[in-house]
Every structure is written in C-alpha cells, then in structure tokens.
Chain A
Amino acid sequence: EAGVTQSPTHLIKTRGQQATLRCSPISGHTSVYWYQQALGLGLQFLLWYDEGEERNRGNFPPRFSGRQFPNYSSELNVNALELEDSALYLCASRLGTGQDEQYFGPGTRLTVT
C-alpha cells in the first residue's frame, strides 16, 4: 500500500512569490493535515481538511491557505512568500472516524530567497 506522497520534493521561490504544495493521502484516508517544520521551531500545525471541509487551522496568517479535492488529495498555497516561510512542509493523512493515527509524507522542502 502506497504511503502519503507529496510534490514537489524541493521548491525554491523568491520573496513575494506564491508556492503551491500538493499531497496525496493513503488510499481510503479522508483527512489531511498540514504541518510546518521550520528549523528551531519544531512541528507546527497549519491546516486540517476532512471530507473536503476545513476543520481547523493553526496560528498562521491568512496567506497560508489550502483545499481538499473530491479525491481527498490536498493542496497548500502560500502567498506573498517571506524568508521565514522557508521550512519543510509535511502532510499527514488519517483514515477517518474513530481512527487517530496520522501518517506523514516525506515533505516538501520550501526555500525562499
């Protein structure tokens, strides 16, 4: 069974540009979570999508947004990139009701110059 996949692996953008990161959950999983892992700041929750709806968002500015598609894949968009947005962006998926386990993908390394 394939795990969570993310694309691209690496992304280099300049300040002020927009970045789009993609995530495909494990087959059958309906929930997708996004986390940011910045150097020295640990893993911080960004967004949670379940059945196409945004269920919760972390303490990040509105220029971080996303969506979940009917096939449960998800997209994270970061507008007006700032240098401090440089981080590893991790996607995790969860099976659904009654299941707590979140399984992470390999991440997208975003570098803002």
Chain B
Amino acid sequence: QQQVKQSPQSLIVQKGGIPIINCAYENTAFDYFPWYQQFPGKGPALLIAIRPDVSEKKEGRFTISFNKSAKQFSLHIMDSQPGDSATYFCAASRDTDKLIFGTGTRLQVFP
C-alpha cells in the first residue's frame, strides 16, 4: 500500500514531442505528489508538485494531471528539448513525512 508505481521505465521522443510519464498509488492518505528531475551524478531537483484537491497544475513546460478517483497522476513535458533528457521520479507523501518514490523514467529527447 506504500508503493508508487511508475511507467514507462524509459522513453524516447524527438525534440518538440510531449513525453508523458504515469504514476499510480494505493494509499489514499497521501496528500502531496511531487515530481523530481535527476541528471547523472546530481541530486534530484524538485520540478513541480500537486495536492489531491487540484486536478491539474502547470509550471512552464511541465504539467501535472491528477486523477484522485483513479489514484493516478502524470507528468507532461510540452515542447520537449534535448536538455530535458534526464531521469524523472514521481513521489508521494503524507503529512510531510518521508517521500515514497516511483522507480524512475529515463527520458531521452533527440534533436
């Protein structure tokens, strides 16, 4: 019940495409859902986050869609660029406790 399932494991798109990464959770007590971007050899960087009372949130080219009834949320990257090539992690937490991470999606954006 503590797991967060993330798919796909890897994703290849061309520049300008819209990669979509999906996550699903079981624990309905989770109240915070962030996405992190990690480049090789670096720590994860917070990209965007959402709470369950909102169905969509946009920050720049990044959008989170949240479906509370289905217990799913996804990250969309608009107009993807080669510089977006990184590993993306979804996560969930409850009451500012530990983050439970998905297994990660390696995104490659080709010119």
B-binding residues in A (CB < 8 A): 4, 31, 33, 35, 42-45, 48, 55-56, 58, 90, 92, 94, 99-107
Which partner residue on chain B sits nearest A43 by CB separation? Answer: B101
A110, B8: Cα distance in complex, Å? 29
Q: Is the pair B98, A48 in contact by a Cβ cutoff of 8 Å?
A: yes
A interface, over-half SS: strand
Contact status of A100 and B93, CB under 8 A, knowing A42-B104, A106-B42: yes
Residues of chain A with a CB closer than 8 A to B99's CB? 33, 35, 43, 45, 92, 102
Residues of chain B with a CB closer than 8 A to A107's CB? 42-43
Task: Give me 16 A-to-B residue pairs in the complex whose CB atoms sit less than 8 angstroms apart, sorted by A's number.
Answer: A4-B43, A31-B96, A42-B103, A43-B89, A43-B101, A48-B97, A55-B97, A90-B44, A100-B32, A100-B34, A100-B93, A101-B49, A102-B99, A104-B36, A106-B42, A107-B42
Which partner residue on chain A sits nearest B89 by CB separation? Answer: A43
Known: A43-B44, A100-B34. 19 other contacts (CB 8 A): A4-B43, A31-B96, A35-B99, A42-B103, A42-B104, A43-B99, A43-B101, A44-B101, A45-B99, A48-B97, A56-B98, A90-B44, A100-B32, A100-B93, A101-B49, A102-B99, A103-B46, A104-B44, A107-B42
Kindly state whether residue B12 has any CB partner on chain A within 8 Å. Answer: no
Kindly state whether residue B11 has any CB partner on chain A within 8 Å. Answer: no
Q: Is the pair A102, B46 in contact by a Cβ cutoff of 8 Å?
A: yes
Residues of chain A with a CB closer than 8 A to B103's CB? 42
Q: Is the pair B98, A45 in contact by a Cβ cutoff of 8 Å?
A: yes
Kindly state whether residue B45 has any CB partner on chain A within 8 Å. Answer: yes
Residues of chain A with a CB closer than 8 A to B78's CB? none
Residues of chain A with a CB closer than 8 A to B97's CB? 48, 55-56
Residues of chain B with a CB closer than 8 A to A92's CB? 99
